[in-house]
């Protein structure tokens, strides 16, 4: 996709702070980090989201995440991190090229996780039956 920001980073057309690269995956610093060391891991081929991606690339991302996370944690002096994927516009996906976030966490960093909602066991049972 010619107009995709991440495809342009992957092709070298746009600059990025690249921190990881293998045959299938590129890792680079998020320019609007939630914390220092916030890295994006993206497939080198354009896939819109988790429903679109080729399994081979997803496996490569799964292998890259712990490798990159170990380096990030050491570099920024953190021991914990979140891995996140925003899948689609309502989920907060800003760039429509699948990417995983590695976000180091620090005591009192103010980064909020979503809270679960109360739900009845009947609703859980009904939903589980649909799945
Ligand atoms: Zn793309």
**Low-confidence spans in the chain with pLDDT less than 70:** 1
Tokens read off for 58 = 């997803």
pLDDT at 53: 95
Tell me how far the alpha carbon of residue 78 lies from the centroid of ligand 1, in angstroms.
30
pLDDT at 43: 98
pLDDT digits 0-9 by tens, 61-79: 999 999 999 999 999 999 9
Tell me how far the alpha carbon of residue 51 lies from the centroid of ligand 1, in angstroms.
15
Tell me how far the alpha carbon of residue 44 lies from the centroid of ligand 1, in angstroms.
8
User: Is 99 considered catalytic here?
Assistant: yes
**DSSP-derived secondary structure for 83-126:** EE---SGGGT--SSS--EEEEEE-TT--PPPPPPPP--HHHHHH
pLDDT at 97: 97
* Catalytic residue, candidates 38, 99, 101, 111: 99
pLDDT at 36: 96
Tell me how far the alpha carbon of residue 31 lies from the centroid of ligand 1, in angstroms.
17
User: How far is residue 41's CA from residue 28's CA, in Å, rounded to a whole number?
Assistant: 7
- The whole-model pTM stands at 0.92
């Amino acid at each position: 996709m010619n107009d995709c920001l991440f495809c342009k980073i992957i092709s070298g057309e746009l600059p990025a702070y690249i921190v990881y690269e293998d045959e299938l995956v590129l890792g680079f610093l998020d320019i609007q980090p939630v914390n220092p060391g916030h890295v994006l891991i993206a497939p080198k081929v354009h896939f819109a989201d988790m429903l679109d991606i080729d399994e081979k690339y997803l496996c490569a991302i799964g292998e890259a995440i712990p490798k990159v996370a170990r380096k990030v944690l050491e570099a920024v002096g953190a021991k914990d991190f979140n891995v996140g994927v925003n899948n689609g516009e309502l989920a907060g996906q800003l760039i429509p090229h699948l990417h995983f976030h590695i976000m180091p966490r620090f005591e009192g960093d103010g980064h909020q996780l979503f809270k679960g909602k109360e739900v009845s066991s009947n609703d859980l049972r009904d939903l589980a039956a649909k799945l």
